Amino acid sequence: MKRHLKVIAPSPFAGREKILEIRGLGKRFESNGRLLKVLDQVDFTVGEGEFICILGRSGCGKTTLLNILAGFIPPTAGEVLLRGRPVSGPGPDRCVVFQEDALFPWLTVEENIAFGMRGPKQAVKDEVEHFLSLVGLTEFRSYLPREISGGMKQRVALARVLILRPALLLMDEPFAALDAQARQGMQNLLLSLWAKFAHTILFVTHDVGEAVKMADRILLMDGDTGSIREEIPVHLARPREKDSVGFLRLLRHLMERL
């Protein structure tokens, strides 16, 4: 029996002011005396509060693009504008979550989340308490990273950046190393926190199903040209059912295009 899908706008926050603009972005690296083109003529814009997935095969330039947006490396050509201002280096308006959790091993869960916070001691404590509850780690506040699971570590990493309330959250295959159950749990947690805080998210993945589940829009990268091959809005209601007609149709389309 066919299921009827409810169609909604790309995002409950889309349509607000443009927060990010990428114009003619290119990146080349020198390798063994030759110039290797990784990105070429990448153009797209992101509205405030959108959830964008950057999808592509390994080696297509996804991580390089994210590193440029974070300000870790400069582009060879083009520019990145965040709220109308050129990005020329890292800044507090952008936070990155990597595949590896990057926690401080000598700090507790609570201390890792508090790292980077500034302000009155009690206000910081209250805010950390709030985020411990949001990510379900209140009972693990005194644990060290080595004492918790991979999924829990990524919850800590997520709370540590969200508590800073960045304008732009950049995520580089953050759940790729987790088992299927933990990955699904983290996807659901991220979506619930995104709905609550309306962060603008750029999420890199090579997992087609993950992109369809998470994104308002999918930017499909072409590994041969280093450009955006296709920009696909995902007009499916959340939560998205993986066996629904619309989900499977989009999944097949993306698999054929990869």
160 plus 171 within the same structural domain = no
Asked whether residue 191 falls in the same domain as residue 152, the answer is no
State whether 160 and 176 are in the same domain.
no
Kindly state whether residue 37 falls inside one of the protein's structural domains: no
Q: Which two tokens stand for residue 64?
A: 């390089």
Whether residue 182 is found in the same domain as residue 247: yes
**Tokens at 88, concatenated:** 């020329």
Q: What is the CA angle 152-69-16, rounded to 5?
A: 90
State how far the Cα of 183 lies from the Cα of 207, in Å rounded to an integer: 11
Residues 246 and 191 in one domain: yes
Residues 195-251 have pLDDT tens digits of: 998 899 999 999 999 999 999 999 999 988 899 999 999 999 999 999 999 999 999
How large is the average pLDDT for residues 36-57?
Answer: 95
The residue among 113, 144, 164 that closes a domain is: 164
Shared domain for 108 and 151, answered yes or no, is: yes
In a domain, 23, yes or no: no
Structural domain of 253 = 1-15+48-75+88-93+166-258
Indicate if 209 and 245 belong to the same structural domain. Answer: yes
- In the chain, alpha helices (H): 62-70, 109-114, 121-134, 150-162, 180-197, 208-214, 245-257
Lowest average pLDDT, out of 110-114, 118-122, 146-150, 161-165, goes to: 118-122
Q: What is the mean pLDDT of residues 157-168?
A: 94
Give the pTM: 0.89
In single-letter form, the type of residue at position 107 comes to L
Same domain, 170 and 241: yes
Which pLDDT band holds residue 16 (cuts at 50, 70, 90)?
low
Is residue 36 assigned to a domain?
A: no
What total number of domains does the chain contain?
2
**Do 171 and 229 have their domain in common?**
yes
Task: Give the residue among 129, 128, 130, 174 at the shortest CA–CA distance from 151.
Answer: 174
Band (93; pLDDT cuts 50, 70, 90): very high
Domain-located, residue 81? no
The Cα 61–Cα 141 span in angstroms is 37
pLDDT above 70 (res 138): yes
pLDDT band at 24 (very low <50, low <70, confident <90, very high): very high
